[in-house]
Amino acid sequence: MSWWLRDSWQMINRNLIHIRRTPELLLDVTLTPVMFVLLFSLVFGGAITIPGVDYTSYLMAGIFVQTIAFAGVYTSVLLANDLKNGMIDRFRSLPISQSSVLVGRTVTDLMRALLAVAIMWVVGLLVGFRPEGGLVASVAAIALMLLFGFALSWIGVAAGSLVRTPEALQGIIFAVVFPLTFVSSAFVDPASMPDWLGWFAERQPMTLVIDAVRNLTLTGEPGPAFVPALLWSVVPLLIFFPLGFWAYNRRTTQ
């Protein structure tokens, strides 16, 4: 156990050095979400009205979860890169607990997600985000999104182990995650969509997580979406944690 922790720390440390050396690796969790906050709040904010709530406050939950979702699945690209460039082979030739490679990767990505939330929170406050739900509810909301992101990271581990090229993943991620964030309650009320699309938008996991986060941050109440959102985080994690290990082991012992 203690070796496992130490090995994992070495992996995290390596990932953190990467971030320090190439800060542009953080753009997707810093600049991009800030841009989204500003664009939607200042550009679309005037045109979109959500009854009963200020648009910027409504919007923030959506951008939080969107950013965390992208950061989570991006684990797959970073892992696929290491598989491609031979670093994983190096690690496999060492007497380490092999799971530390994956734990190091996903925990670093969790830290990236936390950084993203912190930055967006501050920028959100500047443009009118009012989390009136209180401290405890805000912490719960952040914990819920990070859990959701962590589950997506493990889906990313499985995906990254299965594909041959990191480049292929970028396209897949964009094609899957981008529409899911828009066909949700992130930026507009699903009730405004065509019936069939709204039906899907109201029930898909991103909406549930967004609604739970929105309820917690704005009202302090978990709301009806909280339990489903929690399930959509815990169940995938329980499935993909072992599945990610399995896919990775299969890939690396061929």
Q: Which residues bind another protein (CB under 8 A)?
A: 3, 6-7, 10, 13-14, 17-18, 21-22, 83, 85-87, 89-96, 251-254
* DSSP reduced 3-state for 50: strand
CB of 103 to another protein, least distance (A): 14
Nearer to another protein, 28 or 189 (CB): 28
CB of 175 to another protein, least distance (A): 26
Find out whether 66 and 181 touch, Cβ atoms under 8 Å: yes
Find out whether 158 and 107 touch, Cβ atoms under 8 Å: no
Nearer to another protein, 12 or 68 (CB): 12
CB of 92 to another protein, least distance (A): 6
Which CA distances in Å does 5 have to 9, 25, 124, 240, 244? 6, 25, 36, 21, 19
Number of neighbours of residue 35 by Cβ within 10 angstroms: 13
Nearer to another protein, 157 or 213 (CB): 157
The dihedral formed by the CA atoms of 77, 161, 106 and 200, expressed in degrees to the nearest 10: 80
CB of 2 to another protein, least distance (A): 11
Nearer to another protein, 101 or 237 (CB): 101
